């Protein structure tokens, strides 16, 4: 009995010792190393004063003061207003100090741009404006740009014209001797609507009969003179309301080869209210002059 009791105590003590040993914590383990954060990439500092407008057909130069210019790949990204695709222009060192980027010459209404860079980690950095909110540079149209736009709207885009002009006059007399003339011209005009407003060429004919002398009373005592000719003409707009016309002609009259010149100045708008003063010399036909008043009531 005593032997069994001793064995039971020994086994119980051994089990207790094993439980205590299992419950005690072992040596502490080292914590897992945290992932290394990427090193911060250096950044450029860009100071830029943006232009608001620029003359037409002139490059747009963007000037900037840049600190650490080589820390990023800096570009000015631009596009014409109304276009979808962006284009990049790199900055260059100016001989006067600082940096600049030259954008190509633009047409009205203008262009828009923003300045961006890309650091060594490949991250895009916005330094001025953005693709969503670009800066707009207005291109101011010239005087003749505005006049051309007005004319195109007035003409609904029609720049070419073919016109037939005919005129005549019968002077008459009591002896029924022929005393009249008629003139007609067929003209093709192409309108440029700039300072050179239009160019034209065409063909014309003049024919007339008149008494041979002031004292004649014979019905068949008259002369029959005429001319057939071709001509070229230009119209120059020297002012929004002043136009100069010049024409040269070459043809054949009742006497042989002939030539002519014509010039006219118009104050006002030739298609509206205006005053025109002009003259023409047609060789064998002689010189003529005129003053014409045109009034548009519409």
Q: Which one of 141, 158, 189 terminates a domain?
A: 141
Q: Which one of 141, 174, 206 terminates a domain?
A: 141
Same domain (yes/no): 161, 266: yes
Same domain (yes/no): 182, 278: yes
CATH assignment at residue 88:
2.60.40.10
With a cut of 70, say whether residue 145 has pLDDT above it. Answer: yes
Provide the residue range defining the domain that includes 161: 147-294
Buried b (16+ CB within 10 A) or exposed e, 76-115: bbbbbbeeeeeeebebeeeeeeebbbebeebeeebbbbbb
More confident residue, 210 or 291: 291
Average confidence (pLDDT) over 83-87 = 95
Could you report the per-residue pLDDT of 258-295, keeping only the tens digit for each? 999 999 999 999 999 999 999 999 988 889 999 999 99
C-beta of residue 269 within 8 angstroms of C-beta of residue 241: yes
Domain count, the chain: 2
C-beta of residue 273 within 8 angstroms of C-beta of residue 296: yes
The one-character DSSP state at 96 is T
Could you report the per-residue pLDDT of 221-270, keeping only the tens digit for each? 778 889 999 999 999 999 999 999 999 999 999 889 999 999 999 999 99
Percent of the chain whose pLDDT exceeds 90:
65
Q: Identify whether 207 is part of a domain.
A: yes
Same domain (yes/no): 167, 92: no
Sign of the Cα pseudo-torsion (5, 8, 14, 16, in order): negative
Q: Which one of 111, 141, 171 terminates a domain?
A: 141
Whether this model's pTM surpasses 0.75? no
Q: Identify whether 21 is part of a domain.
A: no
Same domain (yes/no): 121, 162: no
* Phi/psi at 179 (5° precision): -150, 80
Cβ-proximal residues to 5 (8 Å cutoff; 6+ apart), any chain: none
């Amino acid at each position: 009995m005593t032997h069994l009791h001793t064995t039971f105590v020994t086994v119980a003590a051994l089990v207790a010792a094993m439980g205590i040993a299992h419950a005690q914590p072992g040596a502490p383990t080292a914590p897992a190393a945290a992932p290394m954060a990427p090193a911060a990439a250096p950044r450029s500092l860009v100071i830029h004063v943006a232009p608001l407008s620029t003359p037409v057909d002139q490059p747009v130069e963007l000037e900037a003061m840049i600190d650490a210019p080589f820390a990023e790949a800096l570009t000015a990204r631009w596009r014409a207003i109304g276009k979808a695709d962006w284009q990049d222009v790199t900055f260059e060192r100016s001989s006067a100090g600082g940096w600049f980027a030259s954008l190509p010459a633009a047409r009205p209404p203008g262009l828009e741009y923003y300045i961006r860079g890309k650091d060594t980690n490949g991250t895009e950095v916005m330094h001025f404006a953005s693709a969503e909110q670009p800066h707009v540079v207005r291109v101011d149209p010239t005087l003749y740009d505005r006049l051309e736009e007005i004319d195109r709207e007035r003409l609904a885009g029609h720049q070419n014209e073919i016109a037939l002009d005919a005129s005549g006059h019968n002077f008459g007399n009591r002896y029924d001797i022929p005393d009249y003339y008629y003139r007609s011209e067929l003209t093709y005009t192409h309108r440029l609507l700039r300072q050179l407003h239009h160019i034209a060429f065409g063909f014309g004919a003049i024919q007339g009969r008149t008494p041979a002398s002031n004292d004649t009373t014979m019905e068949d005592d008259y002369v029959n003179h005429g001319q057939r000719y071709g001509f070229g003409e230009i119209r120059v707009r020297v002012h929004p309301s002043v136009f100069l016309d010049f024409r040269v002609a070459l043809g054949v009259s009742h006497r042989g080869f002939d030539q002519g010149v014509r010039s006219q100045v118009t104050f006002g708008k030739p298609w509206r209210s205006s005053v025109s003063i002009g003259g023409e010399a047609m060789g064998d036909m002689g010189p003529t002059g005129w003053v014409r008043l045109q009034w548009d009531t519409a």
